[in-house]
Structure 1
Amino acid sequence: MRPHTNEYKGPENISTRIHREIASGSYECLVCFSNLTRKAKVWNCKCCWTVFHLDCVKKWAKQGLEQTPAVPIGADFSPTWRCPACNNHEKVVPAAYSCWCEKEVQPEPTNFLPPHSCGQTCGKKRTSPRDCPHACDLQCHAGPCPPCPAMGPKQPCHCGRDEIQKRCIDTVYEGGWSCGHPCEDSLPCGEHSCPKPCHPGVCGECQIPEMLKCFCGNSTKGIKCSDKQEPVESTISDIHGVENWLGYWNCHSPCNRYFDCAKHTCQKPCHPQDALPARCPRSPDLVTHCPCGKTKISEIIESPRANCEADIPLCDKTCDKTLRCGHKCDRTCHEGECPVCVKIIDIKCVCGKTISESLCHQGEPGEPPRCIRVCKMLLNCGRHECAERCCSGEGKAHDRLNSRRKMKSYNPGQSSSDGFESEHICTRPCGRLLKCGTHSCQMLCHRGPCGTCLEASFDELSCNCGRTVLSPPVACGSTPPKCEFPCTRDTDCGHPKVPHSCHTDQVKCPNCPYLVEKTCLCRKRGVKNVPCFKNAVSCGTECGKKLSCGSHSCHKVCHASGGCDEPCRQQCGKAKSCGHPCLEACHAPFQCPEVNPCSTTIQLTCACAGLKQEARCCSTKTNPTGNKKELKCNDQCRSRRMALALALDPDRESIPPYSEGTLFHYAKDRKWSTVIEEKFKAFAESNQKRYTFNPMKSSQRAFLHSLAEDYGFQSESQDPEPYRSVVLFKGSNNGTAPKKTIAEYIASKPSAVPTSTPFSIQQLKKPQRQTYNSIILQNMKIGILNPEIERELEPVLKDTQLRFSLQWSGEDVLLVPKASSLGNDQIEVELADVLIPQLKRLIAKNGLADKAELCLVGKDGQIVNRESQPKWSLVVGKSSAAAGTKPPAQASVGSKSRFDFEYGKAELARKSTESLKKKDKKKEKEVDVVDDWETAADNEAEAASGGPAPPINMEASTGGD
């Protein structure tokens, strides 16, 4: 509400308030919330008389017209906009600024006139009273015109006998007035006058009662004049004289007037009478046949009947008269009415589903029987079933549902009306709880949500602290008012509470943020700097409690007591008779069943280890050997042994798989070339016939063309620069990828790379970033087996997407990632940032190994570099290799323990000692460490190869397993 100032005194209406607030600059526009002044262009609503800026209303109206509401298809719709104050619909957008009475456009602002007024007489038609003939005589003003104070015109009463004149505001222009005297206008009957007091409109039908006789003259009753039927004249002439009257209605009673025989009476219902009595229907001259009408009386008796009292003779034929029910009378010819029909007929129940036998209903519309079938149809509310026995609307409901299904199938976009039959209109009260939570819905059971609760309370509604109050009446279900005062509740923990506003009991106070020390869930240690409101705190360590099986411990992170996984569902892990770990669920304390064949993958080799084949172990308790067998050597093995004996590469190729151009461009950018090579390989293995590369430089396109020739593809450059790109096509042979990649080929034949400067020296001089692809655990705990290592490392390795293979290297264990979709850089980030910190904490806790660090494992399985190894050790390693030192043999991967490897090493040392005793002892030359190691490396490489030193294949050394 706008505040009132003390400058204005006296009564105030809408017009004076608008004038005063605009003149003082305190009237706000409800669109922009800025003040209106005398000089501003304004517009006022003709419904609520609120004043706005003209420009604000124009923008508001245009936005409202652009919002098209959802209307049914085909319905008449004209766009409208709504007043910002009263939501009244308007069709025309305000265009011009005018005064309040709209006589002057663009009025000039003056201080001696009301704001936005032209100073002329208003002259607008008044709205109070309605149909007032006088125009407003005030000066041009805002708001509605006041009620008319002038005298109204003279008005006659409804009957026209009197007239009256009142003030215009008290004059009733619609409906007129009544003088209260009788109307006395002639009624439509023409016999009576209207007895009502002076009234508007026509007098209506005559309601004056009259005593009138029936057609037969036996009864008399009062009938309204307007209900009289067309009169029928009746006359009776007898010994008492002649009686005449007019009959107006039918009494439906028997006539009971004697026939001319003076012995029988007329049994017809009330009918007009004739002057002379009617002929007796039993007279001998009128009755010529028996009662059934099939036989003449002359055929039954010889002499005719004497008079009307003589019996009518009967024949021996069946009556066969049609009864009221439609059946034929099956009795022998008889007098009087036919007896009741006793035939058995089939009659349907109310729902029409059951047919039963019953006596004939005698032609009267009786109530059909009801069967015991219960109607299961849903009522229109959608909540209740009909549950009526033998429902008459069940058939209609089935027809309605069938028509709706057909309408959906033939016209999917068309919606059908419900059209529920009257039997399935739910008449139960809704009874659902309203949103207020206190009252229930009193409407009839209906679909959709219930309406708003209309109950109200006349008690004050206050907030929790009672300092903010909502005055009555208060709608039912209203929430307490929003309170801006601080909350007065105390905290349970005793810490100072967080400042916040007052709120209801359903809303909790903010959580206490103070940091305290709390005991973890497993009760092993206390955790510091924990927010006070947190009750469940985990220390992050493994539970480690022995499970009921006695063989495994709980691997879950710190949890409440009793939360261990029981019974044990972990893998058994014990070594079976074949040496492989049992992969079945824990079955302690029982032995491993070994009924199913072992699924561990083993590698079968021939005697020379040239042939290798992977197979399942498949050993069981009854078949301990399983698939363990030695392969037979073939011609390839013999060729391989011959090549090794002649110091040749057994995997050599007769024709180089890659051209010099390919190798030259590959050496320029190996990382990008490796990506292109993978795309070539994927294209060769796919069913595509065409592949298009993105636009690239000419040097890169040269590499694509050269590599396409090596793969057997057809290549073509398309589009002008700088959008020129290369398109690959498969020929008739579809092209094949070489057995080795470019990196593998360069590693096997380093001299194949055309370069003028020794690439190895360039790599040594260039500070390169060390790359790692594996993890090494140094000095493993004595006596530990592979299953135990896997179980110890499972809490760390289970959360990463990499999968590792365990390889023993002396007393160390290598964790080598298996093939995955991650690149080398992503693998290194996963190892360095995620796994190494967790592994270091794990081995520091359980003493599994002495140290965990990153390392680089080459294609041959040898450790090329370690995280703790200095850079210059690479050069020393190459020098020792050139001197003829043999690298240590790689340990095979399997499930053997460290004891097996220690025994193998001791046996190998013993055999080496015996062989050395038989040979002459040779003095080993010591390698002196020179100061200029770069020059020494260059000299060694040239001396060994007779030319420039081969490049170091960094990409090949950083590959996966």
Structure 2
Amino acid sequence: HLGLTTQYLTECCQSGAITCLVCISSVKRHEQIWNCDKCYAIFHLPCIKQWVLEGVAQTTLLSDEHFPRRDIPWYCPKCRNEYPRSKCPEDYFCFCGKVRDPVTDPWNLPHSCGETCNRFLQNPSCGHKCLLLCHPGPCPPCPQTVKVGCFCCKKAPTPRRCGSAGWSCGEVCNKLLSCKTHRCTRTCHSGDCADCIETSKKHCVCGKSLRMQPCAEPVWRCTDVCDKLLPCGYHHCDKVCHKTADCGECPRAGMRSCPCGKQKLQGLKCTEDVMVCEDTCGKDLNCYGNHKCSRKCHFGECGSCPLMAQKLCRCGKREKEVACQKECRKQCTIATDCHHPTRLPHTCHFGDCPRCKQVCKLKLQCGHICPAVCHDKVILKNEVSIKAAAPWEQPQLEYAIKQLPCPPCLVLMPAICRGEHETSNFPCHELRDYSCGRLCGRNLLCGNHTCALQCHIVEGDQDGENAGSNCGICEEPCNKPRPPGCEHECVSPCHPKDCPPCRKRLRMRCHCGMVLLKHLCCDWADQKDSEKERMQSCGNHCPKILPKCGHPCKMQCHPGECTAADKCSKKVTQ
């Protein structure tokens, strides 16, 4: 793409077909220009100056009221690439930026200085410089040859073009992943390895719970309370699972309320005996708000109400004068208010019946039975609390009874990965189509390689081994061994059957060296030595001189020394 862009701009400059997008007129050979660093569009220098000044001025009027010292940027008219105000074009330079006001030369490209570009190459940034003459558009990929190893550094460095130096050896990467335990199973690749997909048993950060955790996510938190001893030495941390160093100071330290809440007392490293005030407790007793505690401020429960009262029991079966908190000991017969037909047995009581503790057992959408405790009526605290009217009064919270939906199903269900490599267990509500991250591994049509795509659903496959219609396509060259005697590479791409016969011509001199012979490689390679000697003969008389008698050899073109000297029939004068 870079080469095509440069070629297009060069041809436009030579033909005068470049149009300035500001004034919508053609750019002449002798006119001063400016070109964008990103999209390489070419504009008249006066046009781009006017564009910058008008755009900055308009933006300044709109922003000076709120940002009086703001450095207003400007943008390329074509690609909207942002430039600072300090880079407003002022002078006319050649394409490579070395020569100011380049002289128009009929032998050079318009607006080019005619010298070597010498800009540092950027795709990629390799440190080499462009060797082309000053030109428009991007510099081409670096053509220099360098020795580089493959991405995983297993293979020895080989000479390659610097612009496309990165290459894959096709073997498993095997680099140590970020978990420092497992290794990468992908084919030799560029960039960083993906996160580890293996799982192992990991403790939570507080160390109480253990579960299977992906290596890429080794830190997890359970739902248990930390319960570690705080620095005060008296209380324990009530935060949910966290690191030991994060427990912090005791929340009961410093200023806090006494048990009855009427006074603020200093509680730093204090025992409970010094945290009470001298006022009356005043909390509601267990007679459901009929009477209040008359004891002085104290820790712990207020105890039972000591007063007597004429009461009708909760179930309505008995009325008599009893201790205020005393209840009927018969079994409660109030009808259930949830989906269960009966309540768990409990004695007669004041107030509402206790929350149902039976297993829900409703059928979920997935078909499993809900194992949670009955959640038809759950007491929830409202987000907004009613603040206390006075400092000594305890704040009152608002509560609401709501019916909660069944929690997500946690029954473990087996699921086969997309490529059918393995089976993993997922909670039922997380059951989904997933990729195990391994290579597909199906046999490609070439019969020599396997699909290197990540685990995916294979379309059009029936036997579970061969590649489907959406698997990768083999782009490797043929690497099958050549027939004995053939040193040429197979011209066909990777294929399943035997290589086609080599049709390249072998150029060789005949035995006598007078004729240049050309034989097909496939006709020559499999022949025996005796047949090769025959094929290398041109069929003409041997032009060599016999060493003993000095006469020409009368044999046909043959290998080795002439042996017809003893049989020479040439008459000589004695």
Give the TM-score, by structure 2 length. 0.33
**Which one has a bigger Cα radius of gyration?**
1
Give the TM-score, by structure 1 length. 0.21
Bigger relative contact order, structure 1 or 2 (CA pairs below 8 A, ≥6 apart): 2
